[in-house]
A and B are shown apart, each in its own frame.
Chain A
Amino acid sequence: MPAESEKRSIHHLLVDRILQGPGRAPADQRARAFDNANLPEPLGPLLDKVATKSAQVTDADFATAMEAGFTDDQLFELVICAAVGESTRQYEAGLAALAEAIADTEAG
């Protein structure tokens, strides 16, 4: 398998696992964390920061989510989904721009 296809394949396995595989957080919450969309209030501040400004995550963000009943294992999963989701959007945007630039070059 070419190196690029291999990396895409591993990336798909990772995304499929964290979203579709068994977890302590419900799959719909993992999907929302991944998409950084429609997050319930106690999770919003933490997961939006993970996606958009991770250096600003604080202990208080975790405390807010835990006080609302989320467990350590659920937060472990949801933070990973938020991080992988944002990185995936960036990766796919980069690959789409690459494909467009190459297609234009080949057409021209």
Chain B
Amino acid sequence: MRPGVLEHGYGVGPKLLFRLIRLMSGRPAPDAAKLTFYRPDFYGTHMKTFTQEAMRGRSTWSVGDRELMAAYVSKVNDSPFCVGAHTATATRAYQDGERVAAVLADLDSATIEEGLRATLGMLGKLTSEGTLNADDIRAVLSAGVSRQQIGDALAVGFAFNTTDRLANAFAFQVLSQEGFEAGAKYLLKRGYR
């Protein structure tokens, strides 16, 4: 990671935790996790709380749907670490890698529910163009998505529009496929706390 303080600037507690993670999992802690332990009072504590609420809190979107939204937003942001992490997590949550791969390859032709397609399209537009208008929202409502579900999806968008930028700017190390799968298992078991 860059700048160097994100590699070497951790206190005793986080260093012990990272050592424990390596001991238990056989892998170093991923950079996404390490970042939240650097001066957590500034960013990590609040961001983990928000992301946990968006990704694992009450919602009529399934965990798989929300992980797919995270992967899709990350693809639009061209964030290789986050695409890998959330593709693996969505795949594991759905137990359906073809569904996830189809959405990431071509949203329009993927075999998914129309409400989910419209919501992913909305998030894609917001991510690439930076804004939405009321007509964009009406199109999603017309596809049968509720007001609450749109709000929930926008929160996923905020979480990953932030994390993708930080993953790219701080140069998170892209993991092996096995590393992403281990991370997915952890995220589905423990969430983002």
Q: Measuring CB to CB, which residues of chain A are less than 8 angstroms from any residue of chain B? A: 3-4, 6-7, 10-11, 13-14, 17-18, 21, 23, 46, 49-51, 54-55, 57, 59, 62, 66, 72-73, 75-77, 79-80, 82-84, 86-91, 93-95, 97-98, 100-102, 104-105
Contacts and interface: CB of A to CB of B under 8 A. Distances in A.
Contact of B134 (A46, A59, A100): A100
B193 interface: no
B53 interface: yes
A76 B38 contact: yes
A55 B78 contact: yes
Contacts, number: 153
B127 A97 contact: no
Interface of B: 2-6, 9, 38-39, 41-43, 46-47, 49-50, 53-54, 57-59, 77-79, 122, 126-127, 130-138, 141, 147-148, 150-152, 154-155, 157-158, 161-162, 164-166, 168-171
A69 B127 CA distance: 33
Instruction: Choose among A73, A76, A79, A95 the residue with the greatest number of B CB atoms under 10 Å from its CB.
Output: A76
Interface of A is mostly: helix
Interface of B is mostly: helix
12 contacts: A14-B46, A17-B42, A50-B169, A72-B3, A72-B6, A76-B5, A80-B166, A83-B166, A83-B169, A87-B158, A93-B131, A102-B147
